[in-house]
């Protein structure tokens, strides 16, 4: 190779080495600039179940980043997630439904920005020895955490059957939805309200659906988006950008089955694709297109909080923020989202 070409090559390599050492790589600089434009937001999701899937989908599909939000997803129990929300450690909690209402009644500013379902996609699962609701007397009913949605649903269902949750059964906390199935397998509990896809898995293992809880006869909100009024008032633009990404995740759920099932399997670590597909289809059939929180659904929660005197006279609308979805609707975002 001619000497002058060797010299030019050496200078070229030297130039780019210096560029890299100084952190001036144009591609890296572009990525850094892009990241610098994103607003960080932390969201805690409270269960590894299908009704928590929308933030997973929005994250994996890039919907949040599209709207300038760098969302960090954190898994925590509903109680811990709500505590983190009140402490300002997260801005949004997915599905701390009953806890959001009870916290508000106790003086917090927790509100619902949305809810993807107005019925509980749960089954009241029992071991095969239990044939009727009355057979539950003296038995052990598992829930995730006291005060969480499965606990509220279990108590409401037992009362519907004329059973007293405090005296007729033993209520046992097992922390996670998947552990309720394991508790049935190990004989630690005799029954439990279990959501999709874990209820499908439980039935495939030989346990029995004593009651399809979608037929509970009351509006019951699940898959809720919980935040604080101060977040909506103080960071309104961020709240709207987050909600745009969330709504696009709902659309992806409804329109891209293959992608959604892959995301659910990834985040739930579910190995049985058929069970996930069945759960996906059930939720897709029942999921709201626009996640407006049902006033009747909040009334149902208030009825279940009968031990809190303030629940008897509380206006259910005080627990809901309608303004974010209303503004997005007025701006034409919702219409454009579903224009096809």
In the chain, ranges of CATH 3.40.190.10 domains: 35-119+220-337, 122-215
pLDDT tens for residues 271-291? 999 999 999 999 999 999 999
pLDDT score of 26: 42
60 pLDDT higher than 60: yes
35 confidence band (pLDDT: 50, 70, 90): low
**How many other C-beta atoms can be found within 10 angstroms of the C-beta atom of residue 299?**
16
pLDDT at 102: 95
Question: Are 175 and 144 a contacting pair, CB within 8 Å?
Answer: yes
Q: Is 339 exposed, middle or buried (0-12, 13-18, 19+ CB in 10 A)?
A: exposed
Q: How confident is the model at residue 148 (pLDDT cuts 50, 70, 90)?
A: confident
- Once rounded to an integer, what is the mean pLDDT over residues 147-171? 94
Identify the pLDDT of residue 37: 87
145 Rama sector, left if φ>0, alpha if ψ -120 to 50, beta otherwise:
beta
**Number of CB atoms found within 10 A of residue 27's CB:** 7
State the pLDDT at residue 236.
98
CB 310 within 8 A of CB 133: no
Residue predicted with more confidence, 19 or 80 = 80
Q: What architecture is the 35-119+220-337 domain classified under in CATH?
A: 3-Layer(aba) Sandwich (3.40)
> What pLDDT band is residue 340 in, cutting at 50, 70 and 90?
low
What distance in Å separates the CA atoms of residue 191 and residue 209, rounded to the nearest whole number? 10
Average pLDDT of the residues of the chain: 90
**C-alpha–C-alpha distance, residues 263 and 63, integer Å:** 14
More confident position, 77 or 162: 162
Question: Which whole number is the average pLDDT over 177-206?
Answer: 95
Residue 4 reports pLDDT greater than 90: no
Q: Per the structure block, which two tokens stand in for 205?
A: 């293992």
Burial class (CB in 10 A: 0-12, 13-18, 19+), 330: exposed
The whole-number pLDDT of residue 27 equals 41
Task: For residue 228, list its beta bridge partners.
Answer: 110
With vertex at residue 79, the alpha carbon angle to CA 77 and CA 80, rounded to the nearest 5 degrees, is 65
Report pLDDT digits (tens) over 10-27: 444 444 443 334 444 444
| Cα separation, 69 vs 72, whole angstroms | 9
Say if residue 78's pLDDT is above 60.
Answer: yes
CATH fold of 122-215? D-Maltodextrin-Binding Protein; domain 2 (3.40.190)
**């909600």: which residue's tokens?**
243
How far, in whole angstroms, is CA 191 from its chain's centroid?
24
Residue-level length of the chain: 340
- Strand-pairing partners, residue 69, are 39
How far are the Cα atoms of 91, 187, 229, 237, 238 from residue 234, in angstroms, in the given order? 11, 49, 8, 9, 9
292 vs 19 pLDDT, higher one:
292
Summarised one tens digit per residue, pLDDT across range 302-320 is: 998 988 999 999 999 999 9
């Amino acid at each position: 190779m001619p000497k002058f070409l060797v010299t030019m090559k050496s200078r070229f390599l030297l130039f780019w080495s210096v560029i890299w050492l100084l952190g001036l790589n144009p591609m890296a600089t572009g990525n850094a600039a892009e990241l610098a434009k994103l607003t960080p937001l932390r969201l805690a999701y409270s269960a590894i179940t299908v009704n928590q899937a929308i933030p997973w989908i929005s994250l994996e599909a890039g919907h949040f980043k599209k709207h300038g939000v760098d969302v960090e997803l954190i898994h925590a129990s509903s109680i811990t997630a709500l505590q983190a929300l009140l402490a300002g450690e997260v801005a949004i909690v997915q599905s701390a439904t009953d806890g959001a209402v009870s916290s508000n009644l106790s003086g917090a500013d927790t509100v619902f920005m949305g809810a993807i379902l107005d019925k509980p996609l749960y089954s009241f699962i029992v071991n095969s020895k239990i044939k009727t609701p009355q057979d539950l007397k003296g038995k052990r009913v598992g829930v995730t955490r006291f005060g969480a949605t499965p606990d509220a649903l279990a108590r409401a269902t037992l009362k519907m059957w004329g059973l007293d949750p405090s005296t007729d059964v033993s209520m046992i906390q097992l922390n996670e939805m998947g552990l309720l199935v394991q508790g049935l397998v190990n004989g630690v509990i005799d029954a439990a309200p279990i959501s999709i896809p874990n209820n499908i898995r439980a039935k495939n293992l030989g346990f029995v659906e004593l009651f399809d809880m979608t037929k509970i006869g009351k509006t019951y909100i699940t898959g809720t988006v919980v935040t604080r009024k101060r977040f909506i008032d103080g960071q309104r633009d961020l709240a709207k950008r987050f909600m745009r990404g969330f709504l696009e995740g709902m659309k992806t759920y409804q329109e891209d089955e293959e992608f959604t099932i892959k995301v659910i399997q990834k985040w739930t670590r579910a190995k049985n694709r058929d069970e996930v597909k069945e759960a996906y289809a059930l939720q897709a059939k029942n999921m709201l297109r626009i996640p407006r929180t049902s006033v009747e659904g909040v009334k149902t929660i208030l009825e279940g909080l009968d031990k809190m005197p303030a629940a008897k006279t509380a206006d259910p609308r005080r627990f809901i923020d309608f303004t974010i979805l209303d503004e997005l609707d007025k701006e034409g975002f919702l219409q454009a989202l579903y224009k096809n």
